């Protein structure tokens, strides 16, 4: 059984603090923050890695909503309803209630999503223990990959396919443990480039092909207008609670939608918030109760949904070790590099998930307490030189690339990979390249599964007396 210990509390607080930063500025999202702290969390155990990621992802949604409501700047993709509905409420002088009700709704939605998972997980564990095998694993991985290709980032499917194949191609460099051969042996001189035996390292690939293009796109982002922030004012906490009670029906509907949408690969929180928003807005319009100056019920439903989805999206990872978002794939990479296994045996049957829920509730409570006091100081943050901030962040990442490589006695090799791939990052800057990273991380798992299936069916054909030689 897992225990609540001081180091885990410290990790939770760090995750919350970094999540507040991640949701604040466009481009500084979960994946970028994960890359900034990656060298320092590689020695975390299984529980600590999952706890850190959950705190980071969920707290980022709180600040993303605050920034979206007050400044119409989407810090997170799940904050898009707050850009439209929340900012209209802010402009009409109700920004304080928009922020407080979004935060309270997120807290309530997260708690109910946790209870739903506690009820559903025992059934899921039984089903997985009975039916999960190589066939199921490969099927899920292929379906997740196809879903990403056809739905990711509102890009053309063939663009996503090309980006996915690029990640797959890069991941195959090196020795193939399944087939016991060197991939691309005729094109790459592995004797000359010794470190390529082990493949390309993840860290410089992510920095070059995802973080670098993001910073290039964010370089010319105009500074938001903070002059209207003085429209926020103080109210007693009980006033905000009473306002939320009037909107609790919308919050419950958002919770249900978010809990279900969290299981959809990649889209998760973004899908949850937008579906809940559209459905609640339609409901209010049908009742002739929709407020064109900002409908708080529609906003609360959306903001409740995204945090509910933030928890349920972890279900495939916790149960069967399959990520459905790119940031989860990075988390999986850290866990596997530590020679640990994540599945229902190590997460559910050990009681780890129950402990995780306790931290999750505390984390959400901290975020609620920080949500709208934080909004009053946004003007200070956004007065910073954004270009200088991006430049310094990238410089830190380059230093961390060397640090990570040097840790494995491959410092210069890591830098070579980074600078060799950066021109490719420049070429790819107009597209969202997270799908490249997803394919890069999961290539080994997918290919290993397909190889096992090939041997299974080859053996089956031989045992049934069906000859494959004449085909």
Residue 29 DSSP label = -
Q: How far apart are CA 231 and CA 450, in angstroms?
A: 58
For residue 182, the cross-strand partners are 175
Q: How far apart are CA 262 and CA 272, in angstroms?
A: 7
Q: How far apart are CA 314 and CA 338, in angstroms?
A: 20
Q: How many CA atoms lie within 13 A of 347 on its CB side?
A: 28
Residues contacting 14, CB < 8 A, separation 6+? 52, 55
Please report the DSSP string for 348-409 in residue order.
TTTSHHHHHHHHHHHHHHHHHHHHHHHHTTHHHHTTS-HHHHHHHHHHHHHHHHHHHHHHTT
pLDDT at residue 314, rounded to an integer: 87
Largest Cα–Cα separation, the chain = 81
pLDDT at residue 72, rounded to an integer: 73
pLDDT at residue 469, rounded to an integer: 46
H helices of 247-351, in order, are: 248-261, 268-286, 296-312, 315-320, 326-337, 344-347
pTM listed for this prediction: 0.83
pLDDT at residue 470, rounded to an integer: 44
pLDDT at residue 235, rounded to an integer: 66
- Long-range contacts at 242-250 (CB < 8 A, ≥ 24 apart): 243/97, 243/100, 243/101, 243/296, 244/100, 244/101, 244/104, 244/105, 244/300, 247/101, 247/105, 247/296, 247/297, 247/300, 248/108, 249/297, 250/280, 250/297, 250/298, 250/300, 250/301, 250/304
For the chain (471 residues), the mean pLDDT of every run of 10, in chain order, is 76 89 71 85 90 89 81 66 82 82 86 86 80 78 83 81 92 80 78 81 88 77 61 70 88 90 75 86 87 86 88 87 85 88 87 88 84 67 71 86 82 90 89 86 82 73 55 40
The CA-to-CA distance between both ends of the chain, in Å, stands at 54
């Amino acid at each position: 059984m897992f225990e609540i210990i001081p180091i885990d509390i410290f990790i939770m607080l760090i995750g919350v603090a970094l999540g507040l930063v991640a949701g604040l500025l466009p481009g500084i999202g979960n994946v970028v923050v994960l890359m900034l702290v990656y060298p320092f969390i590689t020695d975390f155990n299984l529980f600590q890695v999952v706890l850190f990621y959950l705190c980071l992802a969920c707290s980022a949604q709180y600040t993303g909503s605050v920034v979206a409501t007050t400044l119409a700047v989407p810090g997170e993709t799940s904050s898009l309803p707050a850009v439209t509905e929340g900012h209209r409420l802010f402009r009409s002088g109700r920004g304080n209630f928009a922020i407080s009700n979004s935060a309270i709704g997120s807290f309530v939605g997260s708690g109910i999503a946790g209870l739903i998972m506690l009820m559903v997980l025992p059934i899921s564990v039984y089903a997985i223990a009975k039916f999960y095998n190589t066939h199921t694993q490969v099927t899920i991985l292929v379906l997740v990959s196809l879903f990403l290709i056809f739905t990711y980032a509102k890009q053309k499917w063939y663009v996503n396919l090309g980006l996915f194949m690029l990640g797959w191609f890069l991941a195959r460099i090196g020795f193939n443990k399944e087939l016991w051969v060197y991939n691309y042996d005729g094109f790459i001189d592995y004797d000359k480039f010794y470190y390529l035996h082990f493949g390309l390292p993840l860290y410089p690939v992510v920095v070059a092909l995802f973080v670098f293009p993001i910073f290039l796109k964010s370089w010319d982002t105009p500074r938001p207008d903070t002059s209207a922030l003085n429209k926020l004012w103080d109210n007693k906490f009980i006033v905000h609670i009473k306002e939320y009670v009037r909107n609790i029906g919308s919050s419950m509907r958002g919770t249900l939608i978010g809990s279900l949408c969290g299981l959809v690969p990649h889209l998760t929180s973004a899908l949850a918030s937008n579906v809940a928003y559209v459905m609640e807005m339609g409901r209010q319009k049908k009742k002739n109760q929709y407020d064109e100056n900002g409908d708080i019920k529609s906003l609360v439903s959306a903001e409740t949904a995204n945090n509910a989805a933030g928890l349920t999206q972890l279900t495939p990872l916790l149960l069967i070790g399959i990520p459905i978002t790119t940031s989860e794939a990075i988390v999986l990479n850290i866990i596997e590099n530590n020679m640990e296994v994540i599945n229902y045996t190590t997460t559910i049957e050990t009681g780890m998930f129950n402990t995780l829920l306790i931290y999750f509730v505390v984390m959400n409570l901290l975020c609620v307490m920080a949500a709208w006091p934080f909004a009053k100081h946004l003007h200070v943050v956004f007065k910073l030189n954004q270009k200088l901030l991006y430049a310094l962040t990238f410089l830190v990442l380059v230093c961390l690339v060397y640090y990570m490589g040097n840790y494995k006695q491959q410092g210069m090799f890591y830098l070579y990979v980074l600078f060799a791939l950066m021109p490719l990052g420049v070429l790819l800057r107009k597209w969202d390249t997270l799908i490249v990273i997803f394919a890069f991380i999961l290539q080994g798992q997918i290919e290993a599964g397909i190889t096992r299936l090939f041997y299974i069916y080859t053996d089956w054909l031989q045992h049934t007396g069906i000859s494959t030689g004449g085909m």
